A and B are shown apart, each in its own frame.
Chain A
Amino acid sequence: MTETTTRRQSLWSKAAWKLRRDRFGMLGLAVVAAYFLAAVGVWLGLWATGWGDVAGGKWEAPSAAHWFGTNLIGQDIFQRSIYSISTAFEIGLVVAVLSTLLGAVLGAVAGFFSGRATDELVVWLMGVLDSIPFYLLVAAIAFALEGNPWSMHVAMISTFWITTARLVRGEVIKLKGLEFVEAAHAIGVPEYTIIFRHILPNTFHILLVQSTITFVAAIKSEVILSFLGLGVKDGMSWGLMISESTFEVLAGFFNNFLAASVLMFGLVMAFSIFSDALQDALDPRQVS
């Protein structure tokens, strides 16, 4: 067998090949990429800069100047909904990256020392945090942090790491019995080097899939938290638009509600489909 064919057999390239052949998964990825471009444009100040300006009358119908019409005080709904894409990505990325990191570290340490005090402490903490109703925990954290704009992120991270940690812990318990770990022990590699350099990289497929799932969960939670008054404090988000719209819809004005929900649905759906495809590609035992 030549060098190239053996390289093509590696787990990662096989997964990439499988992912590329998944038409729905690639479509999902393309849609997510389009949303991401929109968000980058907002960050660079290329568009949606006038999301806070009063540019027209109350509840104007869609027109060439205001594609989705205007809201109660005459702000452009199209710009507000596009600006919210960047908010969604900011929340999703921050929460997904940090809670995956936290879950990976705590899960790996707990799994490596399974049965010992460290493990029991982490497992206990997971059980405890799981037993506090999510919205109550968020509300409590929001008030404990006294209106800090990051309180929502902190609350999400402090609960979303748990699922990742559980999965990583299980995988690490399986991996630590394998020969390469035994070999590392035998040549005197320090324990924490074994955990983070030898074992944790082997759980990367779990971390990748979990971070996409967490991203979606964060975007969806933001909407509900913003409605409850615990979410985004400064700026604009789909959650704020939807809570603005709760009394408008009863008066028969749907533009705010539709713009935010349709855009959010598109991103969440595309990301979920991509996440599923990723999971299928990375896990050969995954039942379909």
Chain B
Amino acid sequence: MEVLQYSLRRLASGIPLLLGVTFISFLLMVYFGPDQTYQLLGKNPTAEQIAEIRAQLGYDQPFLVRYADYLREVATLDFGNSNSTGELVTDLLGRTIPVSLMLILPGFVLGNLLALLLALLAAHYRSRWPDKGIMAFSVTGMSISYLIVIIAFQVIFSSSSGLGWFPVRGWNVHSFAEYLEYVTVPTLATVFVALGYNTRFYRSVIVEELNRDHVRTARAFGVPPAKLLYRNVLKNCLIPIITRVVFTIPLIVISGALLVETYFGIPGVGKVTFDAITTGDQPVLKAVVGLTAVLFVLAQLLTDILYRAVDPRVSLS
């Protein structure tokens, strides 16, 4: 009951954020975005035809009316059809979001779990060679651009001058074996890049906790190192870890896979959104931006509830 009440209050306080995100995105992407009038018209249009198309696209309305219309669309989840393909926007997203999730989830999960493991190892051997080795790897990983990693991994694993084990690009998935074929190289690249950033972040969080008095006391009482790291350190580090993981989720759903999708030619939601921006496909843009804002408000709510779950001292009022 308490949690429900809190959630409702918290969702209500997310409204300013929702309005802000939709407003700024609307202003940039729709109001100042590419004009589609002449793409939809035939050759030598008459003034009436131009006016008709502009009315159909809503260009003739004042800004605030268009924005209000947009908010109504977000509230009713009715975005109409894509201007480019004519497909229903909700169908388009329903088709592309699962592809993006399947593409990015393995890398996301592995990237965080492995990083946490490496960070624990580094913190445990602080200032000794395993720590130095892990941190050197981490800084190296952070210094290589994601794009360079993707290209290098594609050359090494997929191209004919490399090992040639996996398909070079595309997404032709009908069975689990095919899924593994297409997802492996993008996942390896994602994990490699994520490990650099995550390991460093998790290590600094863990080391900070290791320096606290209660850890020293536990160590003095003879708690074995593995148990100490899990029970006394990891559990107390959960709040920054949860924050980082949960707030990455909305970005992953919407754009996290944009680069991978563009490079490997995978029809995910990142690619669709990017194309929508460059062509000015307003119905798609409106849907994606609205969805992002809603996901962020939900992520905020989720972190607060998880904080409460892992730390009883946090109150929800």
| A261 (CB) vs chain B CBs: closest residue | B148
In the bound complex, residues from chain A placing their C-beta under 8 Å from that of B280 are 143
Contact check, A228 vs B262: say whether CB atoms are below 8 A apart. yes
- Assess whether A246 is interfacial by the CB under 8 Å rule: yes
Contact check, B255 vs A125: say whether CB atoms are below 8 A apart. no
Interface string of B148-162 (1 = CB under 8 A from A): 100110110001110
The answer, among A129, A227, A254, A268, for a CB contact under 8 Å with B24, is: A129
CA distance A228 to B260 in the complex (A): 11
Known contacts: A131-B21, A242-B151, A269-B139. The answer to whether A140 contacts B28 by CB under 8 A is yes
- Assess whether B106 is interfacial by the CB under 8 Å rule: no
Contact check, A257 vs B151: say whether CB atoms are below 8 A apart. yes
Contacts across chains A and B counted by CB atoms under 8 Å: 128
Chosen A-B contacts, 26 in total, with CB atoms closer than 8 Å, are A124-B16, A131-B21, A131-B292, A132-B24, A133-B251, A135-B255, A136-B29, A136-B254, A137-B28, A143-B29, A143-B32, A143-B33, A144-B32, A220-B145, A223-B147, A224-B145, A228-B259, A242-B145, A254-B155, A257-B151, A261-B144, A265-B148, A269-B143, A276-B139, A287-B207, A287-B211
In the bound complex, residues from chain A placing their C-beta under 8 Å from that of B16 are 124
Contact check, A135 vs B17: say whether CB atoms are below 8 A apart. no
- Assess whether A115 is interfacial by the CB under 8 Å rule: no
Known contacts: A125-B20, A137-B28. The answer to whether A132 contacts B151 by CB under 8 A is no
In the bound complex, residues from chain B placing their C-beta under 8 Å from that of A257 are 148, 151
CA distance A224 to B289 in the complex (A): 21
Known contacts: A135-B258, A141-B28, A143-B33. The answer to whether A245 contacts B139 by CB under 8 A is no
- Assess whether A186 is interfacial by the CB under 8 Å rule: no
Of all A-B residue pairs in the complex, the 8 with the closest CB atoms, nearest first, are A128-B20, A133-B255, A144-B32, A269-B143, A140-B28, A131-B296, A139-B277, A268-B143
- Assess whether B142 is interfacial by the CB under 8 Å rule: yes
- Assess whether B204 is interfacial by the CB under 8 Å rule: yes
Known contacts: A128-B17, A143-B32. The answer to whether A265 contacts B144 by CB under 8 A is yes
Contacting A at CB under 8 A, from B110-148, are 127, 139-140, 142-148
Q: How far is the CB of A172 from chain B (nearest CB, A)?
A: 22
Contact check, B139 vs A246: say whether CB atoms are below 8 A apart. no
CA distance A10 to B250 in the complex (A): 46
Q: How far is the CB of B37 from chain A (nearest CB, A)?
A: 15
Contact check, B21 vs A132: say whether CB atoms are below 8 A apart. yes
Contact check, B292 vs A132: say whether CB atoms are below 8 A apart. yes
- Assess whether B185 is interfacial by the CB under 8 Å rule: no
The answer, among B147, B155, B211, B255, for a CB contact under 8 Å with A250, is: B155
| A125 (CB) vs chain B CBs: closest residue | B20
In the bound complex, residues from chain A placing their C-beta under 8 Å from that of B140 are 269
The answer, among B147, B152, B254, B262, for a CB contact under 8 Å with A133, is: B254
- Assess whether A249 is interfacial by the CB under 8 Å rule: yes
| B14 (CB) vs chain A CBs: closest residue | A127
- Assess whether A84 is interfacial by the CB under 8 Å rule: no
| A141 (CB) vs chain B CBs: closest residue | B28
Most buried by A among B28, B32, B34, B160: B28
CA distance A143 to B20 in the complex (A): 20
In the bound complex, residues from chain A placing their C-beta under 8 Å from that of B292 are 131-133
- Assess whether A134 is interfacial by the CB under 8 Å rule: yes
Contacting B at CB under 8 A, from A136-163, are 136-137, 139-141, 143-144
Contacting B at CB under 8 A, from A206-244, are 220, 223-224, 227-228, 239, 242
CA distance A288 to B250 in the complex (A): 32
Most buried by B among A131, A239, A254, A287: A131
| A133 (CB) vs chain B CBs: closest residue | B255
Most buried by A among B148, B161, B263: B148
Q: How far is the CB of A44 from chain B (nearest CB, A)?
A: 28
In the bound complex, residues from chain A placing their C-beta under 8 Å from that of B29 are 136, 140, 143-144
Contact check, B255 vs A136: say whether CB atoms are below 8 A apart. yes
Contact check, A136 vs B273: say whether CB atoms are below 8 A apart. yes
The answer, among A131, A143, A252, for a CB contact under 8 Å with B17, is: A131
In the bound complex, residues from chain B placing their C-beta under 8 Å from that of A124 are 16-17, 20
- Assess whether B239 is interfacial by the CB under 8 Å rule: no
In the bound complex, residues from chain A placing their C-beta under 8 Å from that of B154 are 249-250
Q: How far is the CB of A235 from chain B (nearest CB, A)?
A: 19
In the bound complex, residues from chain B placing their C-beta under 8 Å from that of A141 are 28
| A242 (CB) vs chain B CBs: closest residue | B147
Contact check, A287 vs B208: say whether CB atoms are below 8 A apart. yes
Contact check, A128 vs B32: say whether CB atoms are below 8 A apart. no
In the bound complex, residues from chain B placing their C-beta under 8 Å from that of A143 are 29, 32-34, 277-278, 280
In the bound complex, residues from chain B placing their C-beta under 8 Å from that of A102 are none
Contacting B at CB under 8 A, from A20-53, are none
In the bound complex, residues from chain B placing their C-beta under 8 Å from that of A70 are none
Contact check, A144 vs B33: say whether CB atoms are below 8 A apart. yes
Contacting A at CB under 8 A, from B173-208, are 204, 207-208
Contact check, A265 vs B143: say whether CB atoms are below 8 A apart. yes
Known contacts: A129-B24, A135-B258. The answer to whether A272 contacts B32 by CB under 8 A is no
Contact check, A224 vs B259: say whether CB atoms are below 8 A apart. yes
- Assess whether A195 is interfacial by the CB under 8 Å rule: no
The answer, among A128, A134, A249, A273, for a CB contact under 8 Å with B21, is: A128
- Assess whether B274 is interfacial by the CB under 8 Å rule: yes
